[in-house]
Amino acid sequence: MAIEYDLTLAGNIPVTMVAERALPDPDERPIGTPELLSIDLSSRYGFGVTILAGTDVYLDVETDQGSWEWEPDAATTIGFRLDKTADRKWAVVNMLTVVRRVLGSGAEDAALVLNGDVLVLARFDGVVVKHHRESWWGHYAGADEVIASTGGG
């Protein structure tokens, strides 16, 4: 069974711009239509990438403090589908490297969600908060070093 992560960025950001921020090597960038891009990077990084722009986005996920809802008017989401045969820890660190690159190249509010229902990290007003520190971040060696928290959580 594959594991999926979605990094949702608030705002009306063109998918091509997000692709350039996420994957600066043109050979690694997803291709497709103006609102949907995708590429399989399973052999290189352990995941496939889909970038989708949309409106009326709605997240309802679990955090350390319980249920949390977020409803940006417009958002662009980078979906990561981790290959079921890839080393999970290696693929997660590779994915977080892309997430760090995206967060470092923009100031949008953002949320990283596991399998559509668990908030892994959120950034609002420039403050990054990691969730599920013991169960998720503690499970992946090196993950905590890839992305620094800037707030409590």
pLDDT tens by residue, 88-99 = 999 999 999 999
Residue 100 forms part of a structural domain: yes
Residue 149 forms part of a structural domain: no
Q: What is the pTM of this model?
A: 0.95
Residue 150 forms part of a structural domain: no
Among 15-19, 32-36, 107-111, 122-126, name the one with the lowest average pLDDT: 32-36
Name the residue range of residue 130's domain: 3-144
- 15-57 pLDDT tens trace: 999 999 999 999 999 999 989 999 999 999 999 999 999 998 9
Closest to 3 (Cα-Cα) out of 44, 40, 45, 46:
46
**DSSP assignment of 9-22:** EES---HHHHHHHH
Domain count, the chain: 1
CB 124 within 8 A of CB 153: no
Residue 64 forms part of a structural domain: yes
